[in-house]
Amino acid sequence: MTEKLIPRPAATVTLVRDSPQGFEVLMVQRNFQSVFVPGAYVFPGGAVDAHDGSEDIAALCTGLNDVDASRKLGLVSGGLAYWVAAIRESFEEAGILLACNDKDEIVTLDDEVRAARFHAYRSRVEHGEHPLSEMLKDEGLRLPLQHITYFSHWITPAGAPRRYDTRFFVAAAPPSQKPLHDNRETINHLWVRPAEALSLHKQKKFDMRTPTVNTLRLFAEHDSVASLMTCMQALGDIPVIEPRINKDGLRVLPGQPGYEEAGTEAGRGKF
């Protein structure tokens, strides 16, 4: 019998922008050596760690406290850590820092000296050598959680080699920052229109997993950041989506034929 793993709390953030090519999302490609979804195109994200829920980091957050964050996620406590994890992972994996000064202005990284300084911070934060909270204190920055919207909740199917209980967030990308994959967990990055990514995936030229595909289908209904954010901010209760693996090893989602019959430990299907 396949061992049933307890899903690990995780967060991912979809960074979006308006461009001359149209409404785009930022995607990064996972390292082919990764245990979890190797080679797939994903949104920046990862597991929630202990520091994400610390008092030090909570004191540096604006626009949301743990009580309200937990309520939005349907948790008793600890919800704020998911927003923090989304910001931290965006910085570590894609080089985009969603932080602001005391005037609520998002930090700019278009100056070479400042960009180099934050690049050094990024490496130290990623390797656990310098907590995110210390970097924020050093630079006089805060985390503006009011600019980051929660919109989806997925749990990896039972039977997968790794399982995550992932909250999905969306935020407008800072115009003065350029993404840069970390060349460790992620090996490539690109801005792409949701419809284009879905078309490439259908042609088997762009590997993506079920939550990513479903997110892009949702985003493809919009033609601007403003339209998307208005829709996401108006969402009410957000249901958890937990795919199951049927006897043929295929993923089925809630509401699809065969979902109720599918065993939650039937195989090691992809997320």
Please report the sign of the dihedral spanned by the C-alpha atoms of residue 46, residue 47, residue 52, residue 53. Answer: positive
CB of 255 within 8 A of CB of 249?
no
Nearest partner of 13 among 100, 89, 95, 122, judged by Cα: 89
> Domain spans of the chain?
8-243
The C-alpha R_g of the chain, in whole angstroms, comes to: 18
Q: At what angle do helices 210-219 and 194-202 cross, to 10 degrees?
A: 140
CA atoms within 13 A on the CB side of 102: 3
pLDDT tens, position by position, 133-184 = 999 999 999 999 999 999 999 998 887 778 899 999 999 999 989 887 766 7
Amino acid at 237: D
The residues, ordered by sequence, that sit 6+ positions from 159 with a Cβ below 8 Å of its Cβ are 2, 245, 264, 265, 266, 267, 268, 269
Strands (E), 72-182: 143-144, 149-155, 164-172
Residue 133 phi/psi, 5-degree rounding, is: -60, -35
3-class DSSP assignment, residue 183? coil
Pull the structure tokens for residue 119: 């690049």
Distance of CA 127 to the CA centre of its chain: 19
Nearest partner of 146 among 76, 65, 82, judged by Cα: 65
List per-residue pLDDT tens for the chain, 271 residues long. Answer: 345 678 999 999 999 999 999 999 999 988 766 656 667 899 999 999 999 999 999 999 999 999 999 999 999 999 999 999 999 999 999 999 999 998 889 999 888 888 889 989 998 998 888 899 999 999 999 999 999 999 999 998 887 778 899 999 999 999 989 887 766 776 788 999 999 999 999 999 899 989 999 999 999 999 999 999 999 999 989 999 988 877 777 778 887 777 877 764 444 444 4
pTM: 0.90
Q: Measure the N-to-C terminal CA separation of the chain; round to a whole number of Å.
A: 19
C-alpha pair distances (Å), 128 with each of 50, 246, 267: 11, 40, 35
Count H helices, E strands: the chain?
8, 12
d(CA 26, CA 34): 20
**CATH number for the domain running over 8-243:** 3.90.79.10
